Structure 1
Amino acid sequence: MKRARVAYSGAIYEAIEAEGRLKLNDGRIVEEHEVVWLPPVTPRTVFALGLNYAGHAKELAFNAPTEPLVFLKGPNTFVGHRAQTRRPADVTYMHYECELAVVIGRQARNVKQENAYEYVAGYTVANDYAIRDYLENYYRPNLRVKNRDTCTPIGPWLVDAKDVPDPMNLTLRTFVNGKLTQEGSTKDMIFDIPFLIEYLSSFMTLNKGDIILTGTPEGAVDTAVGDEVVTEIEGIGRLVNTIAGDEPFLKA
């Protein structure tokens, strides 16, 4: 099942996909363009993986890591499907990162790889933008790179784990203004989902609603104000986002 969170007519609703439309949890059926899309889950602790695809590490002139490079993201970074992401006027290179997001479904501690999928509620699409101008180094992205407001669109759907039989064999694609610019597969992750759940739960407790962003394949390119960026993952969804300048975000 595909689940969503939306704002409609002044209220927030849980919703499910219903033959190309949305069925709100009060039973009403609405069109997808009639709602404001919210992140399909309310993020708690969010873990993000750096350089988790060898091709992406290579294009950044780094060796593939020998253990997971993990950093944390705040909930302020997340916006929904069809939202705008701010590109500051002073930057010269801001690129998308199409990522499979793994949503934890129940508390997990000291989980073994063979049992890891039992703790997954579902999957969604994330686009974790990065500004290269702000990078101190690729191994420790600073706060301005990965914790900026609006920098991580996520959604539109949370797809139940039982409906994704092989999350480690999904095609990822990114389109900028309709042009294919990135293509890869989750099978090329250096550290797969079971490994990451075992690794993280070995030293800290994972809780329901925690999210693991699993990294992006090679093919990240610069984006400009006005660009429409579509990140899609086979069987999970198609996430649309627009790059905006500073003006829409400035307070009066």
Structure 2
Amino acid sequence: MKYLRYGPPGEERPGLLDGDGFIRDLGGVFADLAGDCLDPSRLSDLTTGDIALLPRVEGDVRLGSCVVGTRHFIGIGLNYADHAAETGMPIPSEPIVFNKAPSCIGGPNDPIPVPPGAFKVDWEVELALVIGRRAWQVSEAQALDYLAGYCICNDVSERAWQLEGTGQWLKGKSAPGFGPLGPWLVTPDEIPDPLSLGLTLEVNGETMQSGSTATMIFGPAYLVSYLSRFMALEPGDVITTGTPPGVGMARGRFLKPGDQVRAAVAGLGEQANAVV
């Protein structure tokens, strides 16, 4: 199932994408795609009903982030062997963990603003995991049972703020609009092997990134289990799992107002963002 949120910023309603590509409203079923509504058992209940009975949303609508109420937005650095190689960094022996401020989350097609003083804004197409139930001290074998689903994240980064000066990743990862999520939250039954997904990112129609989750160093199940050793993951928390090679920092090229960014992950749809 592909879940989504639609409507103006701050007024989004929950919905799903039916088999014909139409949005169906879920406002009469869920308050929002947050908290207990993200429990995998609740999401799976809808698959037994008649989706055609849900109200169809007519016309063009804005898509918001596919989850709300995120308290922990956790990133994993250098998690693709080929990306580590392009940076000249050694392959990590354990996950490199950082935070993005949840206030950076935006819709999949919202503009990406260049903040005042920023001059090295970079792109990173990633597979993101959305937690569906509280995960604390879970085993790798059970970890994927705690997922509500998967979505696309563009882990937008300001590299000077991230790596220069005191080099704090949180500063470079957290500006408003630096975390587009969606378009959909795709339930795990539709993604039987999250380690075989193609990822691509284009800037102004030119392919910058083209890779596969097969080159991940630490897979989704390991990451959920690993993080749950140190913190309790709550429904709505997001783990964005790293990026393949081709980032702007490696190319000596960064985003500027007027650029158009398109990010896609197989089975999860695509994002299209204007840089402003």
Q: Do both proteins adopt the same fold according to a TM-score greater than 0.5, normalized to the shorter chain?
A: yes
Equivalent in the alignment of 1:22: 23
Q: Which amino acid aligns with 1:20?
A: G
Q: CA deviation at 1:11?
A: 4.4
Q: Cα 1:166–1:10, aligned 2, differ >3 Å: closer, same or farther?
A: closer
Counterpart contact for 1:46–1:72, Cα < 8 Å: yes
Counterpart contact for 1:54–1:64, Cα < 8 Å: yes
**Partner of 1:86: helix, strand, or coil?**
coil
Equivalent in the alignment of 2:38: none
Q: Cα 1:141–1:60, aligned 2, differ >3 Å: closer, same or farther?
A: farther
Q: CA deviation at 1:102?
A: 0.4
Counterpart contact for 2:162–2:170, Cα < 8 Å: no
Moved more, 163-172 or 18-27: 18-27
Q: Cα 1:9–1:24, aligned 2, differ >3 Å: closer, same or farther?
A: farther
Counting only pairs closer than 5 Å after superposition, residues 1-252 of structure 1 correspond to structure 2 as: 1-7=1-7, 11-18=11-18, 19-25=20-26, 27-31=54-58, 34-42=60-68, 43-88=70-115, 90-136=117-163, 141-221=168-248, 222-244=254-276
Counterpart contact for 2:261–2:272, Cα < 8 Å: yes
Q: CA deviation at 1:111?
A: 1.1
Equivalent in the alignment of 1:249: none
> d(CA) in 2 for partners of 1:151 and 1:238?
16
Counterpart contact for 2:9–2:64, Cα < 8 Å: no
**Partner of 1:194: helix, strand, or coil?**
helix
> d(CA) in 1 for partners of 2:163 and 2:203?
27
**Partner of 2:79: helix, strand, or coil?**
coil
Q: CA deviation at 1:9?
A: 11
Q: Which amino acid aligns with 1:134?
A: W
Q: Which amino acid aligns with 2:73?
A: V
Counterpart contact for 1:134–1:142, Cα < 8 Å: yes
Question: What is the TM-score when the length of structure 1 is the normalising length?
Answer: 0.89
Counterpart contact for 1:83–1:153, Cα < 8 Å: yes
Q: Which amino acid aligns with 2:105?
A: F
Moved more, 148-157 or 15-24: 15-24
**Partner of 2:202: helix, strand, or coil?**
strand
Provide the aligned length of Structure 1 versus Structure 2: 243
Counterpart contact for 2:212–2:244, Cα < 8 Å: yes
Q: CA deviation at 1:89?
A: 5.3
Q: Which amino acid aligns with 1:23?
A: R
CA RMSD after TM alignment: 2.2
Counterpart contact for 1:156–1:238, Cα < 8 Å: yes
Structure 2, unaligned runs of 5 or more: 28-53, 249-253
Q: Cα 1:103–1:140, aligned 2, differ >3 Å: closer, same or farther?
A: farther
Q: What whole-Å deviation, never above 9, does each CA across 1:55-79 have from its counterpart, x for those lacking one?
A: 2222222112111110122211000
Equivalent in the alignment of 1:250: none
> d(CA) in 2 for partners of 1:67 and 1:10?
37
**Partner of 2:235: helix, strand, or coil?**
coil
> d(CA) in 2 for partners of 1:8 and 1:40?
13
Q: Cα 1:10–1:46, aligned 2, differ >3 Å: closer, same or farther?
A: closer
More strand by share: 1
Q: CA deviation at 1:161?
A: 1.1
Q: CA deviation at 1:144?
A: 2.5
Q: CA deviation at 1:238?
A: 0.6
> d(CA) in 2 for partners of 1:189 and 1:141?
24
Q: CA deviation at 1:198?
A: 1.4
Q: CA deviation at 1:199?
A: 0.8
> d(CA) in 2 for partners of 1:145 and 1:34?
33
Structure 1, unaligned runs of 5 or more: 245-252
Q: CA deviation at 1:141?
A: 3.7
